[in-house]
Amino acid sequence: MKILGTGSVLPKKIVTNEDLSKFLDTSDEWITTRTGIRQRHVISDEYIEDLGAEAALKALEMSGKSLEDIDLFICSNVVNEYITPSLACVISEKIGLKCSCFDINCACPGFLFALDIAETYYRAGRVKNVLIVCADEPTRMCDWSDRSTCVLFGDGAGAVVLGEGDNILATKTHSQPAVDKLWEKRVIEPTPYITKTETNVPLQMKGRDVFKFAVSASTTEVVDLLDSIGMKKDDVSYYVVHQANMRIIDAIKNFLNEPECKFPTNIADHGNSSSASCAILLDECNRKGLFKEGDILVFSAFGAGLLSAAAILRW
108 lines the binding site for ligand ACO (CB under 6 A): yes
Residue 136's beta-bridge partner residues?
A: 156
Task: Show contacts with ligand ACO in window 254-293 (CB under 6 A).
Answer: 272, 274
**Rounded to whole angstroms, how far apart are CA atoms 49 and 67?**
17
Q: Is 281:266 a contact under the CB 8 Å cutoff?
A: yes
**Rounded to whole angstroms, how far apart are CA atoms 209 and 182?**
9
Half-sphere exposure of 153 (CA within 13 A, CB side): 26
What backbone phi and psi angles, to 5 degrees, belong to 127?
Answer: -140, 160
**Cβ proximity to ligand ACO, 136 vs 284, nearer residue:** 136
Exactly one of 41, 129, 150, 242 is catalytic; name it.
242
CB of 244 to ligand ACO, least distance (A): 4
Q: Is 193:210 a contact under the CB 8 Å cutoff?
A: no
Question: 175: Cβ–Cβ under 8 A, 6 or more apart, which residues?
Answer: 305, 306, 307
CB of 271 to ligand ACO, least distance (A): 10
32 lines the binding site for ligand ACO (CB under 6 A): no
Half-sphere exposure of 26 (CA within 13 A, CB side): 26
Length of the chain (residues): 315
183 lines the binding site for ligand ACO (CB under 6 A): no
**Rounded to whole angstroms, how far apart are CA atoms 18 and 23?**
10
Size of the site for ligand ACO (CB under 6 A): 24
41 a catalytic residue? no
Part of the chain binding ligand ACO (CB under 6 A), chosen from 30-38, 40-48, 191-199, 254-262: 30-38
Taking CB under 6 A as the criterion, the residue among 196, 208, 232, 292 binding ligand ACO is 208
**Cβ proximity to ligand ACO, 245 vs 286, nearer residue:** 245
CA of residue 313 relative to chain centroid, distance: 17
Part of the chain binding ligand ACO (CB under 6 A), chosen from 23-31, 52-60, 97-105, 160-168: 23-31
108 a catalytic residue? yes
202 lines the binding site for ligand ACO (CB under 6 A): no
**Cβ proximity to ligand ACO, 129 vs 245, nearer residue:** 245
**Cβ proximity to ligand ACO, 16 vs 100, nearer residue:** 16
22 lines the binding site for ligand ACO (CB under 6 A): no
List active site positions.
108, 242, 272
